[in-house]
Structure 1
Amino acid sequence: MPDLSPIVLAAGRSSRFGGPKLMQPLTGDRGAMCVLSQALQPWLTSFPNVWVVVPPEHKALRAQVEQELDAADRIHWLACDQSASGMGHSLAFGVAQTPHASGWLIGLGDMPDIHASTLQSLAEKLASGHALIAPVHAGKRGHPVGFNALFRQPLMACQGDQGARQIVQDHMELLVTLDVDDAGVLFDIDTVADWQRRELAFAAP
């Protein structure tokens, strides 16, 4: 799906974390990098370009990610003035900024452990003609979620903190799920305790 736009939402307020969690150092296969850098690695492995929705005050985060990943020419930063109003506004903004896309794979910047192979499989499902696709691990539906162009207007109408959840619920008859051996599709870092558990798990033999 050459005109698929992969969008990573990274404009949250991190209120439950108590600080800028996406800049928090996190251990990974390539050493310690910030949470957003770790999360973006599989996206950059899977796609030639990635769109990242951030808040207006994103310069420090952008500088850190570009230093750690050396992919400044492939990351398209989308500063959303209304990001403080909720994830739905950020999602709608990201879709509106990619008007020529035939579909979108929507992920979250605080999910650092998704496999590149999962992203590629989801993209292939969209390319094969499915309208709505989501990964499932251990019987639970996770992220990212893929939408084809049928959902352009509903995605651009998203508001508040619900993101696209209501769109998925309203079109369950179109949803195709993909079983994956990838616990990363269920794990995000919301709190300091989440970050600590992730660090301990990565350090375990």
Structure 2
Amino acid sequence: MRIGAVILAAGEAKRFGKNKLIQQFLGKPILIRVIEAVNFLDRVVIVGKYANELLPLLENEIVIYNPKWMLGISESIKLGVRFFQDYDGILILLGDMPLLTKETIQKIISSFKESCSAVIPVYQNARGNPVLISKKLYGDLMSLSGDIGAREILKKRNDVCLIECGKEVIIDVDTESDLISLQQP
């Protein structure tokens, strides 16, 4: 089974106020930590507003510039679907989740079965990310518009598989205080 990782890094980071993905977390930029969690998969990084700041970090990555980044997350997801259209599924990762690990990613992927339209990690009943989406839903993903991700499609389906994971699947960095609190021992 071929799974491609789509790393979403095109956003504006309004609440953070600047490019949060280049901020250091335990000695590395946040985005690099996310990439390292999926370095065993074929992957693409979708960039947008902060493309010029991110490109120096991404010299060894396949990068797609999303010229419509201001229209919302759906445009980046569609670029990822097009890139991996021949794959069995795509793992959609948010670029601001520095606690993700290879082990968590492997757990999500190993839970993927033919009967699952998607695999969603959960922590204490809260749905998290990254989400693994079957090729069966590529058409639905391509019909998304605006600042809407796959959640809208998935909440209507009864063939979504849930996998219990650690809290790393629900923790992202939205503000500077989020980053500071994550770095506290």
Please state which band the TM-score falls in when normalised by the shorter chain.
over 0.9
- Distance across 2 between alignment mates of 1:33 and 1:115: 14
Aligned mate of 1:177, from 138, 162, 170: 162
Q: Deviations over 1:55-101 (max 9, x none)?
A: 165133121244xxxxx1xx221111111110111111211222211
Following superposition of structure 1 onto structure 2, how do residues 1-205 of structure 1 map, counting pairs within 5 Å?
1=1, 3-27=2-26, 32-44=27-39, 46-47=40-41, 49-55=42-48, 58-66=51-59, 72=60, 75-127=61-113, 129-171=115-157, 173-180=158-165, 182-200=166-184, 204=185
CA distance in 2, matches of 1:65, 1:92: 21
**1:127 positional shift:** 5.0
SS at match of 1:7: strand
Query: Could you say what secondary structure the match of 1:63 adopts?
Result: helix
Comparing both structures, which one devotes a greater share of its residues to helix? 1
Shift of 1:35: 1.1
Same amino acid, percent of matched pairs: 26
Query: For residues 176 and 127 of structure 1, what CA distance do their matches in structure 2 show?
Result: 9
| Per-residue CA distance 1:110-138 (angstroms, 9 max, x = gap) | 00101211111211222555221111112
1: CA distance, partners of 2:85 / 2:37: 24
Give unmatched runs, 5+ long, in structure 1: 67-71
Give the SS at the match of 2:21.
helix
**RMSD after superposition:** 1.5
Aligned residue type for 1:144: P
Aligned residues between the structures: 185
Q: Answer yes or no: is the 8 Å Cα contact 2:130–2:169 preserved in 1.
A: yes
Q: Matched residues in 2 for 1:56 and 1:80: separation?
A: 8
